[in-house]
Amino acid sequence: MINNAINETPGKEIKYRLSREGGEVLLAVWDSSHRVPTPRAPTAYTLDDLDLAPERWDDNGGWGLGIIEMLASSCGYTTDPSGGKWVWACLKP
């Protein structure tokens, strides 16, 4: 989530919050972008499908939100009235 915020607003401020609430861990990240987070569609891949060449290492990304959705008890995003959005996830320890 933090990496997505950095990519959405390069060179600008991001904020994060990590806390324990009601037996769960809340991770929330704010960025100034209004673009809605969109996870990639699930696809079956093997390690042979990934291009691990150093110059294309970052091209294999984009799976973080899907992983968060699978691990979190709840997750989503909320627009911030002062601008930008918060992307959040609740995780059971």
Tens of pLDDT along 27-68? 999 999 999 888 777 777 777 777 777 776 666 667 788 888
pLDDT given at position 42: 72
pLDDT given at position 38: 82
Calculate what percentage of the chain has a pLDDT beyond 90: 43
How many CB atoms within 10 Å of residue 28? 18
Residue 22, pLDDT above cutoff 80:
yes
Burial class (CB in 10 A: 0-12, 13-18, 19+), 80: middle
> Any residues with CB less than 8 A from the CB of 22 and at least 6 apart, and which?
none
Q: What's the predicted TM-score (pTM) here? A: 0.76
Helix (H) or strand (E) holding 77: strand 74-79
Which residues, listed in sequence order, are joined to residue 87 by a DSSP beta bridge? 29, 77
